[in-house]
Structure 1
Amino acid sequence: MDKIKQQKLDVIRKYIDPSAVKEVRPEIVESWIRSSENGLDPRHYDYPPQMDPLMFEQLLKKKALLIQASTPFIHHLENMLSHVECYIIISDEQGVILSVVKALGGNGFKLEAGTIWTEKTIGTCSHGMCILLKSPIQLCGPEHFSHIFENIACSSAPIFDENGNLEGTLTITSPNLRSHNSQTLGLAISMAMGIQKQFQIALQNEIFDAALENTEEIMLFSDDDGKIIRTNMNALKIIELFGRDLIGSQVEDVLGEQPFFKSVAETGNTLSHIDFQLKYTKKKLFLTSIKPIKSKDKISGYIVLLKETDHIKKAAKSPYAAMVKFTFDTIIGSSPQSMKLKSMAKKFAHFNSNILIQGESGTGKDVYAQAIHFENRPNGPYIAVNCAAIPQNLIASELFGYEGGAFTGAERQGKPGKIELANGGTLFLDEIGDMPLELQAVLLRVLEDKMIMHVGGSRYIPVDFRLITATNKNLLDLVKNNQFREDLYYRISVFKLSVPPLRERGSDIVQLIEHFIRIYSSNQGIDEPILSNSAKYLLLQYNWPGNVRQLQNTISYAVCMSNEGIIRPENLPEEILSYQPPSGLTLAQPEPEPSPNEIILDNTPSMKEIEKKAIMKALHESNNHIRGAAKILGLSKSTLYRKIKEYEIS
């Protein structure tokens, strides 16, 4: 033991090469070195830091399943080890102690729930090594970094979730080396495996329960005799049995003696897409599917999926509906151009006429489409289709759906199209200029009749949807070149919105930069870096041909490349650094950069800087014509003259 203590000091002081330590495993020696590099001294023990109480309370809630799964095993261990003094510890994957039991009286280590034990806080320890190596490990005496642990032994084993991600560790610590042996490590491993299995089952159940309650479908689970053994809340709300419990009832007592259930029981095949009425209430339901659960080719139960709506409403609430992320309140931008656009879009949203959104690629046309949908039909589905991304031979079946067997490769039961799925909500057709001419005629007919027919079908299906289209092309030019139908153009462009490019929305650039820095820093779990003046200067003078999408990618890159909490020019992509703005549009050079140790209080340009830049751009675009520049800026001529004089713009 004394030799190990001396070798530890010699390695840390670099008196000997780490490879010269033969009595201790190399991974432990490497941990000693890292612990020392973290500023720790093995001869002095600093108590581990305590997690903020509020944050620890939130962590316990997050780890509730792990703690719940470990509780019975901890009690079992406590009984098994009742004859010896020991500590049984559960930690999370970051080294935070979640619980400590079997601690007899106080201890000199501050081994308490909420403390953080890692190489950086207390040096080499068993559960810290277990987290790093993701494998069981036992440390004895001076193998630990701090001298205070030279008479204890610890055995730790990892606990993983079902995807192989480390969830935490189980550790058995003995204050007396003599009461700890190799069997203790085996005990820790077996108990950790038991906790892991129980945790994974609990996690699967939680995911399963969440899926049950977050689906719009009615779900029934029965045994092989058709007796209902489990349901979700939708089933309890919708299926009424006049005081009888749903659990324990027969499926056929609830649904009626339907031939489809008997067919599944006899053939073992899944059935789907059937309309019927409930036996007691006569309520109309749609059978999404009834599927047998098989075990070794024998049916052990059934899963029944239903919907309260008819076939058309079923399509409207399809899982193909995209989740709306944007509303008018969440759109970033307060420039005059953005405020005018939002006001116009919000006004258009309250009418059901078709809307055409035009703008360069990456300006956020889909953002405005989502906001219009949320303002107009928030409870309906929002179905987005990129006409340029679907092969021409498939776009008809994607839009209009198809009957089973309509073509080679078609699903046997058929499939609803995107227009059908948008029933009751909004259909957003992006890149409408790339829609094939022959399909444009069919879309025109759908817009006029509000009815569709599946590919290979023979009946019309009524649909009700709001159409929003978008393009980065000039559709009137396409009309002149016979690449787009003129009658369809006027049908889809009752209302028109033009999303200005980012280079024309000066103050929006600053707001978007701040927003993306905040988002990407949060996603990476790091402090928000501060944008230096010189980097801000380069971003503001750039012309952003890729618009908001390019800015978003640029800030993501800059956040990742930043150092010391500051985004500098060298952290920006090459196209930003090499850009040369047109003559006359260069901003004034920024103030000298502060040193890394100084705090940058203002990481945004002043409104005067933004306004001056916007005026210079408007004058350039209007060939120094005051009336034209004032129109671009949304200002009166007198106001523009005053600001030109104020900012000394020649």
Structure 2
Amino acid sequence: MPPLSSLDRARAALEAGGRFPGGALNPEIARSWERCVAGGLDPGQRPSEVVVPFAEVKARREARALLRRLALAQMQLLYEQIAGSEFMIAFGDADGVVLDTLSDARFSESEAGRAIVPGSRWDETMRGTNALGLALVEQAPAAVYGREHFFASHGRLSCVAVPIFDPAGRIAGLIDASSTNEARQQHTHALVRMAAAAVENGLIAQERSDVLLIALHPRAEYLDTLSAGLIALSPEGVLLSLNRPARAMLAGLEAEPGQRFEALFDGNLGAVADEMAAHGVARLRDRAGSLLHVSCRRLAGRTAVPVKAAPPAVTPSKASVPTPAFVCEDPVLRRRMRGLEAAVRSRLAVHIHGETGTGKELMARHVHEISGRTGPFVAVNCGALPESLFIGELFGHERGAYTSARNEGSSGLIRLADKGTLFLDEVGEIPLAAQSALLRFLDTMELRAIGGTRVVKLDVQIVSATNRDLAAAAAARQFRSDLYYRLCGFALEIPPLRARSDFDAIARHLLALHAPDATLREAALQRARLRPWHGNIRELQSFLRRAVLTDDALDEAEEDDEPADPEAAAEVCRHCADTMLARLRCRQIREAYRDSGGNVLATARQLGISRTTVYKHLDDA
């Protein structure tokens, strides 16, 4: 009979109720077993399988929308990287509740697969020693293989879990990879670590739009990897957040939020920004004397950092920033636009997101205006170009390059935008085959026509727009994630019309354009404010034009002027079904409640009403 392994001896002692031998287990596993024994758990029994209701799972998902979106994208990548090894990937929150899973068929049909489901709790007090629960307790990556699990019923399950820390350094969630294979898959552990690091970097990058994101590493070739440190600085040069590699590199210094750049590094932020703008990578020493290479991941925000001026061909000719040709008095929109000028000056790609009709092209034209570029503004509707002709129309082609090519050839839409701005509208509709070609162009700004041999270097400001959720599309492998991040050098979301506080100014501005002599009274504005405006500013513009053309009294809109919307008509509480104004107000409250992720207090603050009023309109939701 072969001798017992140290794990077998420890296991036997555990199940006999004795003390397991010292040194037989990894220290974190031994500590976990001791906690489980102290908590009264029996390794021979089956663990409590607590599953929270789906309504609570949904609420937890909505409360962590950004974190979840980033995690799902990484889970999809992991799924493809470890496919075929009978596994499951899970995303859990900081309470140990599983929110999402991705699994192959064999694992999902196993006993372990039926236990790891959305809503299942895997904290150590209920499930004993397991990777997800252990990572929460230790606040560090954890691996639990086979019989290292406290409960014998988990003896064929092997899992690794890595916590995701938010910008404040608190655990926000976890990514777990579990398998029924007891082999210690070190490569899987490394992949899960990389996935968690990518999510953490995404949280820092998307925490605020008006920040300067700087990557740092002792070796320049590692600046674009997940091992690079990442710090977010305010427009005034104050440290807002940093990732774990950055904390490690700045160990010994007071690298905490609130600290100024000059207190951590031996150099002036303005001079460092100039060097990054000129050469891409700058060198500086921290206050402990260590040499670091730094590069700019994103420049956004109203920053006092002097950035190297653009070449004369694109330098703004005016001293002041051009006034937008549209109304933007809404404080949310103005806050999101902060840093737009600095981003354009740094030649970052600008991505505009918003519902249909919110004015994305007007914003794109404003970007072109503030850039001061002498070239044209070239708008491309990516959804209108046939997939078979997309690359040829965008990049140009030589005569006879392909079957449907023009006889005389084409210079391409991108080349037309040289020294100007290329606006890629409906960018989410770009065919997958063309996305790699566009990514290469964005990286090099070099263009070669189809069938041609000559490479042309261009100078183009890139602006893209969509009403789709590109992050979700990237997670679903419907849009290249590297292209998505490349387009989002500066991301700007335009609020829908129903959420804007400058509605009155917008309505009067549009009316003045089409009928300068017409007026809107307060009563008419009040009724108009309560409409859902699913088509946003475009719908409002059409409404005002129609009213002027038909000579309707703009201040005496009839109740039956409400657009027919059977679905919306049903979305009101029983108290508000009788009158148009009541229905519109009720819909507005319910929609704001949904947009806030089910937060009553946030809804009340946004609409300037009491929480009691909000509850009244949700009583039968």
Q: With the length of structure 2 as denominator, give the TM-score of the two structures.
A: 0.41
Task: Specify which structure has the bigger relative contact order, considering alpha-carbon pairs within 8 angstroms and separated by 6 or more residues.
Answer: 2
